[in-house]
C-alpha cells in the first residue's frame, strides 16, 4: 500500500468485485492504499481475491440476499474496523434481447433476475452497510451504465434496470444527506466479462466473447474508444475520496466515450453515420 493514494487508509466494501469493472476497482483501490472487503458470488473469484494479501478480504455471497450483505459488512468491520465507502458493481446483461424476442414463459423469471441483481442488490447493499456508513460519515458509489440514460445499450430488461439504479441513486442521495453522499459511475460499452441472465439461457455468455466487440463499441461513441475495466476505475477513486468530493452528491460520472457529445445523428444514414446505439 502507499500513503500517497487518494484513498489511503480507507476501508471499502465492494459488491461484485470478482470480475470485470468490479475486479479492476478492487485492484486499483488496493494500489491507492485502501483495505477492501468484497462480496462476490463466484467461489473461484473469492479464492483469487483472498490470495492478493491482507488488504483484501473476500466472502462468497449473493447480492440478492440481505443476509449475505450483512455477512460481508460484518466480516469487513471485524477485519478492518469500519467501512468508509460502499461500492456496488454486481450486474448481469440481457444481450440486447428485444421485447418481441422475450419468451412469454421466461419474462417473469428474467425480469425478476435482472432487477433483483441489478437494482435490489444495490439497495440491499446500502441497507446492510448503512449503520457502519453512519458511524464514519461514509459514502456510496453505485454503478449505472450508459443504458441508464440512452436506449440501445441493452434490451428492455437491462435498460429498465439501469434507469432504476439511476433513480435509486438520486433517491438515496436525498434521503441520506447531509451525512452520507451517494453518487454513481455510468460506464459505456466495455470489453468485460459481464455475464448474461440465467433465465435467458445466457449465464455462460460474456460480453468480451462477442465477435468484434471492440469494433462494435468504438463506432457508438465520439472518442471511438472501446473501454476496458481499468478505464473506469479513476471515476470510482474520485467519488470515493471524501476529502475531494465533500460537496458532491447525486452526481454521475459518465465514463462512456462522450455519448452526450454525439449530437443529432441521422437515423437513416446507416453505416455511414455509425451505429447510433449507446452500447
> Residue length, the chain?
279
Only one residue has cell 490470495, namely: 51
Cell numbers for 179? 451525512
Question: Helix H segments across 40-106?
Answer: 43-50, 66-80
Facing residues of 11 across strands? 35
Residue 36, beta-bridge partner list: 12, 56
Residue 236 annotated among the catalytic residues of the structure:
no
Active-site hit among 80, 95, 158, 236: 158
Calpha distance 98→92 (Å, rounded): 16
Closest among 253, 271, 239 to 86, alpha carbons compared? 239
* 233, 12 contact by CB (below 8 A): no
Say how far apart CA 74 and CA 161 lie, in whole Å.
Answer: 28
Residue positions annotated with a catalytic role: 158
Amino acid at each position: 500500500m502507499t500513503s500517497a493514494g487518494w484513498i489511503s487508509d480507507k476501508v471499502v466494501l465492494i459488491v461484485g468485485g470478482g470480475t470485470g469493472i468490479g475486479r479492476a476497482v478492487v485492484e486499483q483501490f488496493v494500489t491507492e492504499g485502501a483495505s477492501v472487503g468484497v462480496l462476490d458470488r463466484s467461489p473461484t473469484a473469492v479464492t483469487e481475491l483472498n490470495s492478493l494479501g491482507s488488504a483484501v478480504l473476500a466472502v462468497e455471497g449473493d447480492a440478492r440476499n440481505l443476509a449475505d450483505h450483512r455477512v460481508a459488512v460484518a466480516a469487513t468491520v471485524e477485519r478492518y474496523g469500519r467501512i468508509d465507502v460502499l461500492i456496488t458493481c454486481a450486474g448481469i446483461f440481457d444481450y440486447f434481447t428485444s421485447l418481441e424476442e422475450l419468451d412469454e414463459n421466461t419474462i417473469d423469471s428474467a425480469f425478476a433476475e435482472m432487477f433483483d441483481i441489478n437494482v435490489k442488490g444495490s439497495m440491499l447493499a446500502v441497507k446492510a452497510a448503512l449503520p457502519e456508513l453512519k458511524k464514519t460519515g461514509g459514502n456510496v458509489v453505485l454503478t449505472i451504465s450508459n443504458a441508464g440514460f440512452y436506449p440501445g445499450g441493452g434490451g428492455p430488461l437491462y435498460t429498465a434496470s439501469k434507469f432504476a439504479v439511476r433513480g435509486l441513486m438520486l433517491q438515496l442521495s436525498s434521503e441520506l444527506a447531509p451525512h452520507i453522499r451517494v453518487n454513481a459511475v455510468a460506464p459505456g460499452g466495455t470489453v468485460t466479462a459481464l455475464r448474461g441472465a440465467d433465465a435467458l439461457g445466457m449465464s455462460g455468455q460474456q460480453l468480451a466473447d462477442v465477435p468484434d466487440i471492440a469494433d462494435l463499441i468504438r463506432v457508438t461513441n465520439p472518442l471511438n474508444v472501446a473501454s476496458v475495466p481499468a478505464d473506469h476505475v479513476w471515476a470510482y477513486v474520485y467519488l470515493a475520496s471524501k476529502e475531494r468530493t465533500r460537496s458532491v452528491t447525486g452526481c454521475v460520472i459518465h465514463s462512456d466515450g462522450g455519448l452526450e457529445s454525439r449530437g443529432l445523428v441521422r437515423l437513416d444514414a446507416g453505416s455511414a453515420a455509425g451505429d447510433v446505439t449507446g452500447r
